[in-house]
């Protein structure tokens, strides 16, 4: 392959969304803003497309999907069958040697940078089109062989049933999806979670809300537990804490991650210190100003680093929220109700 398809995060910015996907582009932009982001590299959309072209997978999968005709659009069962068939084709198809060697070189360079053999990394999907939760993320991936396997499995996840249904609904090409992959160093998480610079159910942009738990952030985003919740006034920085009883967390193991019981002494303790809460708000508000829209961001507190270096960011994207009703709309509704009762 002559065309470049692997990039250091430092080479990327928000203008590279179509090249490497939203997650990788935003991670690159965050590094430019001076934020603490785990080091790593991005495999571009071109890398995925070259894999599909060089192995003939793209043509085979497209032919299979064409053979399903309109049934693919109308039948969930047909979509499930198509997902299974496409993923089986990909699982049986190894990366071309040239591509595998390039990914391994970049992974081993990352390991050398930290003088750590088989350093654990996260291998995360980075779609150019936002489809939250529909493609895969793998944590604590160790060793070159496992990194290669997980990269291919992230690519496979573009053919998850939900992803196929999404593309059909949006009238996008169903046989392929532009996807990048982020390979980033794992953080030794003490606690993790999300922050939104808007209250999503009310559209209140004067406050930020933080949700978090001990361990890795997967327990927060999966909804398995009731996380700690901190509402912060973005101007006065007043904190309204809601500390829950946290009985389960996600922790790392030699073979990846697992769910476990939270130690008794941590269950009713806040997963964040006040100074960490304020640092999260300070940085996220700056990111909000930079992008010009409320943000939905993922954070990790590194147990190995002192404050504030321990506040690490692993994702930023535009927040989804319900805009507040305009006064004019409320006045109109009241006026119509008044007219109704007068009749």
Average pLDDT of span 287-304: 97
The per-residue pLDDT for range 238-261, each reduced to its tens digit, is 999 999 999 999 998 877 899 999
**For residue 340, what pLDDT band results from cuts at 50, 70 and 90?**
very low
Domain boundaries along the sequence of the chain: 6-185, 189-318
Angstrom distance (rounded) from CA 298 to CA 37: 11
Assess whether pLDDT exceeds 70 at residue 34. Answer: yes
Average pLDDT of span 27-41: 97
145-154, 201-210, 215-224, 320-329: least confidently modelled range: 320-329
174-178, 210-214, 281-285: least confidently modelled range: 174-178
**For residue 182, what pLDDT band results from cuts at 50, 70 and 90?**
very high
Q: What is the CATH number of domain 189-318?
A: 3.30.470.20
The per-residue pLDDT for range 197-228, each reduced to its tens digit, is 999 999 999 999 999 999 999 999 888 899 99
Average pLDDT of span 137-165: 95
**For residue 327, what pLDDT band results from cuts at 50, 70 and 90?**
low
Q: Alpha carbon 167 to chain centroid distance?
A: 19
Question: What pLDDT shows up at residue 326?
Answer: 61
- Angle, helices 144-156 vs 97-113, to 10°: value is 120
* Consecutive H or E run containing 33: none
Beta bridge partners of residue 181, listed in sequence order? 43, 125
| Mean of all residue pLDDT scores within the chain | 92
The per-residue pLDDT for range 62-106, each reduced to its tens digit, is 999 999 999 998 899 999 999 999 999 999 999 999 999 999 999
CATH superfamily of domain region 6-185? ATP-grasp fold, A domain (3.30.1490.20)
**For residue 178, what pLDDT band results from cuts at 50, 70 and 90?**
confident
What token pair was written down for 246? 């946290």
**For residue 343, what pLDDT band results from cuts at 50, 70 and 90?**
very low
Nearby residues of 147 by Cβ (< 8 Å), 6 or more positions away: 103, 104, 107, 121, 123, 141, 183
Burial 307-329 (b: 16+ CB within 10 A, else e): eeebbbbbbbbebebeeeeeeee
Count of residues for the chain?
Answer: 343
What is the percent of the chain where pLDDT is above 90?
A: 83
Angstrom distance (rounded) from CA 206 to CA 199: 8
Question: What pLDDT shows up at residue 24?
Answer: 96
Beta bridge partners of residue 141, listed in sequence order? 121
């Amino acid at each position: 392959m002559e065309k470049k398809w692997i990039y250091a995060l430092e080479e990327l910015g928000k203008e590279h969304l179509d090249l490497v996907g939203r997650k990788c582009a935003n991670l690159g932009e965050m590094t430019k803003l001076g934020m603490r982001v785990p080091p790593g590299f991005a495999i571009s959309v071109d890398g995925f497309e070259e894999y599909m072209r060089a192995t003939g997978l793209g043509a085979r999968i497209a032919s299979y999907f064409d053979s399903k005709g309109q049934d693919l659009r109308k039948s969930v069962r047909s979509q499930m069958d198509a997902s299974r068939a496409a993923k089986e084709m990909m699982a049986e198809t190894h990366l071309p040697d040239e591509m595998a060697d390039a990914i391994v070189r970049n992974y081993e360079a990352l390991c050398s940078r930290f003088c750590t053999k088989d350093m654990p990394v996260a291998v995360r999907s980075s779609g150019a089109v936002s489809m939250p939760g529909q493609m895969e993320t793998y944590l604590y991936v160790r060793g070159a062989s496992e990194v290669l396997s997980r990269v291919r499995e992230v690519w496979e996840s573009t053919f998850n049933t939900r992803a196929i249904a999404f593309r059909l609904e949006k009238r996008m090409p169903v046989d392929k999806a532009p996807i990048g992959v982020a390979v980033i160093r794992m953080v030794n998480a003490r606690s993790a979670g999300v922050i939104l610079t808007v209250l999503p159910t009310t559209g209140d942009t004067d406050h930020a809300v933080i949700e978090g738990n001990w361990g890795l952030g997967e327990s927060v985003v999966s909804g398995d537990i009731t996380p700690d919740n901190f509402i912060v006034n973005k101007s006065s920085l007043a904190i309204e804490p809601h500390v829950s009883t946290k009985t389960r967390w996600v922790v790392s193991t030699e073979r990846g991650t697992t769910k476990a019981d939270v130690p008794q002494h941590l269950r009713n303790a806040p997963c964040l210190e006040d100074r960490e809460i304020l640092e999260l708000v300070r940085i996220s508000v700056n990111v909000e100003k930079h992008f010009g829209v409320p943000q939905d961001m993922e954070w990790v507190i590194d147990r190995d680093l002192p404050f504030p270096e321990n506040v690490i960011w692993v994702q930023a994207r535009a927040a989804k929220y319900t805009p507040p009703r305009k006064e004019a709309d409320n006045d109109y509704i009241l006026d119509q109700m008044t007219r109704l009762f007068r009749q």
